[in-house]
Chain A
Amino acid sequence: MKKLSILLLVVLAAAVAIFYVPLQAAVRPPKLDYQRLVLPNGMVVILHQDKSTPIVHVELWYHVGAKNEKPGRTGFAHFFEHLMFKGSRNVEPEQHTSIIASVGGQANAYTNEDTTVFWQTIPAQYLPLVMWMEADRMASLRIDEKAFIAEREVVKEERRMRIENPPFGLLNELITFHAFDVHPYKHPVIGSMTDLNAATIDDVRDFYKTYYVPENATMMVVGDFDVDTVTNLVNQYFGRVPKAAKPVPRDIPQEPVHTKERRVNLEQPWPLPAIVVAYQVPYNGHPDSYPMFVMSKTLSDGQTSRIYRKLVYETGLALSAFGSSSFLEQPGIFSAVALVNPGKSPDDVEKALIAEFDKLKTQGITERELQRAKNQFSRDYIVSRLSIKDKASQLGHGEVIQKDMASVDGEFDTFLKVSQDDVKRAAQKYFVPEGRLVMRIMPRGGVEQ
């Protein structure tokens, strides 16, 4: 069907109790059982069986992302991800995806700030093929200057398509650029054109040797398989990949706590003004990150959320208003964004956004809001583990980002224990004016009324 959407950015709806729902009878998801293997070369393998459909999902996480890039090489981690499809000793360039497709499977990869993930979902009987191919490119990638230069053009088109051409495409990039000074989260994962052009084939070799090594890799195998068979395959194909020559570097410049509010005014060729209010927040898994997450539900999940109600529903100040938290491996930001409706004042929008943060500090959230946030959290939690791909993603997150597999199931209770006081305390600690970024991005050439 042709897709029609009335809101550019999906925002959902508002406040009277109709039904009584028993408070702590939250529906619990089943436990995600897993087995964890560590190979002598340091590679970690997480197994979770799910025999409901004869398919299997294999996901290989390399613990390297945009934050590991050298200065002047933004975008390199993602660029390198593309190069992993350019063939290895036993697999021809571009064949990885087509071989997977020829058995009905799907394969792709993504890069974010912290990780690079290669995944494939396949009919279960092709598990050996996938493991063989993943090991092949971990151990014997072809590095070819011609392919490297050609693929750079594809990545540049990707940047143009995702970031430079659509209205508001640059928004995230502008926010992080001004929210960070020294931490590499400052830079977009896709990188800048200048840095992409500056990358060399030596950078490729160096990056491969440094980060694409077994001790930096975690593989999730989720779906219909036999444990003994998988164990044998893992040993056979990945067991023979040697360790790296040197330890994987982990020295990332850390962002200091900001001491002065920053205000930035910009212009972009966008149809409506955008107002951004952002604060520094702790890393994912930090004890404060749980109340912060609960609070983010109250602020911006659903049509009852405070930001939606105030800015969109009640006042019509904004076409769309939402909050998003980048709870990453290292401390990041929480930002609220509003697109100012024609005829409305950007000043009013900015004041309204900041007022919502301030209200959390002075009044916290109500008991009912807390319960609602927890119910919304439970739902997200449950619908985030429906498919084998979802499950692999949860397991990878526990191992690589949280570095604590117990968190995969344990976090459910951690969330349910969050109290109103926890939320208020976290708001007071993080939503401080001196840690705040206020950005106003006006349409170039003025606002059309």
Chain B
Amino acid sequence: MKIKAVVTLGLFGVLTAIVAAKPALTERVKHEVQDRLRAARTERTPGDGAQARVDWPRDSPPRPLPARPVTFPPYEIRKLSNGMQVVLVSQNEQPAISVRMIIRAGAAHDPKGKHGLALLTATLLDQGAGKRSAEDIAETIDFIGGVLGTGAGTDMSYINAVVMKDSYEIALDLISDVAQRPTFAPEEIERQRAQALSALKVAAGDPESVAGRVIDRLIYGFHPYGMPGAGTAESLTALTRADFVDFHKQHFVPNNALLAVVGDISAAEAMAGLEKHFGAWQPGAVPSLAITEAPEATRRVIVIDKKDSVQTEIRVGHIAIPRKHPDYEAIDQAVKILGGEGANRLQQVLRSQKQLTYGASADLNTYKRAGAVIAETDTQTPNTAEALRVVVDEFTRLQRERVHDGELEGAQDYMVGHFPLTIEVPDAIATQVLNQLFYELPVEDLPRYRERLLKVTPDEIQRVARWFIRPAQLSVVLVGDADKFVNSLKGVGFGNYERIPIERLDLMSADFLKR
């Protein structure tokens, strides 16, 4: 048997998956492959060390076969009688159905001082709901061989289920209880609180997790996006049952939800089930989120000292744009050139040329109200300063130098060509549609992805890079064995840093130090 275990389907993870669309690969792309290979061959010198077992021929790469057209697969967007938006993707290749619900409220909606509330609320949803205890829910879903998962991200909470096609009714019955009628039983609250506190302790010693939380806090400051979504020991301890009840009551209403039904079921059957289980769910007034502006980018370097680390986790970044922004496409492509799939200058320099790391990348994380560009890599302790310098230099290069035509074309070829890979499985199709709806972007853009993508030119990249990339105002986080690298930071222009022992890290304090 070779079987992958089903793990909770973290919707917040897949929602950021590349969204791409285009009809068919052009002749331009085809010929480019040929050209690239030809160029590579002519540069090659004889006696290249090839270990042929036979007189292996020098060869031209074969031409591609005729391409079949690619179109965005069918889906439907409907509404229930109470206004809840529904996405349907019908496909019967495998006898499974997945049901996914998104609530438009996440850790960013944690009230001041109640960090961790959204996440712990989500965790408690399936620990007792309606007439069912936590055990009843678990037994019901496990017995039918289904999976039920709940969680929260920055801007959203979610409930996901995967069941076999004969268990759609059971899935809806469970989800409707879990979404509408969670119990928040005191003993379950205590149980989950204890687990969350214990998990915090583990995360506090994990360099990767620490680096991620500190860079968010540095970039976003005390804006909700900078706050620890998993909470702090103090905030988790202080949460009361009333907090969970209130959070749920305020945000879990059908007019604040999106729902998708995906897989081996007809649209009519899917809708009939949803109407039965969610039709009576009453809409409510959703409080608007009062959010301050994210702070301006400011240069600040934080060294988190963790003795005996063999590597340093490096994060470098600054504030960027929200998802819905007129320059999104150009900025996204600029960041892909810096460190994304299909391009990635950071990987080329840090791994291929210098062997400083196993992996380096840069991401444009865009949420509803703000976003950030963050580069990340890890390197063995003595190479910390060198790797940091390389990362910062690449930000500078992107801002100052015009992107070469071929480099941008390469990145675009990847994104355009990659589109059919992103619509293979029905859940991936639903993800793309949900993504558009969630960020209030036009779904009509999905099949037009190719046009939107290719519209970006090197001039465009240069224009956005000039205002958006700010090499002099980068936030830097280094988590590692500080004694073994801090002395070399000055030599690479980062002599000015704040050093925090990992045991004394406090995300809620302005200087990151626990008092």
Q: Which residues of A contact B (CB under 8 A)?
A: 1-8, 10, 12-19, 21, 25-30, 52-55, 87-92, 94-95, 98-99, 101-106, 121, 123-129, 132-133, 136, 139-144, 150-151, 153-158, 160-161, 164-167, 205, 208-209, 213, 224, 229, 233, 240-242, 269-272, 284-285, 289-290, 293, 301-305, 312-313, 316, 319, 327, 339, 341-342, 368, 371-372, 374-388, 390, 393-394, 397, 401, 411, 415
Contacts and interface: CB of A to CB of B under 8 A. Distances in A.
Size category, B interface? 35 or more
Interface string B1-22: 1111111101011011000000
Contacts of B198: 272, 319, 341-342
B142 A376 contact: yes
Contacts of A371: 143
Given A3-B10, A30-B93, A386-B425, A103 B25 contact: yes
Contacts, number: 397
A160 B52 contact: no
B457 interface: no
Given A103-B417, A229-B65, A8 B203 contact: yes
Contacts of A156: 380
B67 A89 contact: no
Nearest to B417: A104
Given A92-B40, A301-B5, A379-B147, A16 B195 contact: no
B13 A3 contact: yes
5 contacts: A1-B12, A12-B8, A90-B41, A303-B138, A377-B3
A7 B56 CA distance: 53
Ordered nearest first, which 5 A-B pairs have the shortest CB separation?
A: A104-B417, A375-B145, A13-B138, A14-B135, A1-B12
Contacts of A327: 1
Contacts of B139: 14-18, 304
Interface stretch (B237-245, B291-299, B307-315, B490-498): B307-315
A200 B183 CA distance: 63
A422 B153 CA distance: 43
B54 interface: yes
Given A16-B136, A92-B40, A385-B94, A157 B202 contact: no
A132 B59 contact: yes
A165 B119 contact: no
A37 B14 CA distance: 37
Given A123-B67, A272-B198, A166 B94 contact: no
Contacts of B229: 2, 4
Contacts of B40: 91-92, 95
Nearest to A82: B358
A205 B215 CA distance: 45
A342 B201 contact: yes
B424 A157 contact: no
Nearest to B368: A1
A15 B195 contact: no
A387 B43 CA distance: 39
A12 B298 CA distance: 42
B440 interface: no
Interface string B197-220: 011011111111000100010000
The secondary structure that dominates the B interface is mixed
Contacts of A17: 139, 143
A30 B57 CA distance: 43
A7 B198 CA distance: 9
Contacts of B356: 153, 157
Contacts of B335: none
Interface stretch (B154-162, B247-255, B278-286, B392-400): B154-162
B221 interface: no
B52 A139 contact: yes
B67 A10 contact: no
Given A121-B421, A380-B4, 9 more contacts: A2-B212, A19-B144, A88-B50, A99-B37, A102-B414, A132-B59, A301-B142, A372-B142, A379-B164
A301 B202 CA distance: 23
Contact of B6 (A151, A205, A380): A380
B287 interface: no
Contacts of B67: 54, 123-125
Given A3-B153, A13-B142, A17-B139, A142 B195 contact: no
Given A139-B52, A240-B54, A160 B138 contact: no
Contacts of A158: 358
A27 B424 contact: no
B162 A383 contact: yes
Interface stretch (B28-36, B77-85, B458-466, B507-515): B28-36
A1 B153 contact: yes
B184 interface: no
A167 B205 contact: yes
Contacts of A12: 8, 138, 142, 147-149
Contact of A124 (B63, B68, B196): B68
A302 to B, nearest CB: 4
A204 to B, nearest CB: 9
A124 B65 contact: yes
A14 B155 contact: no
A157 B54 contact: no
A55 B48 CA distance: 34
Nearest to B73: A53
B305 to A, nearest CB: 14
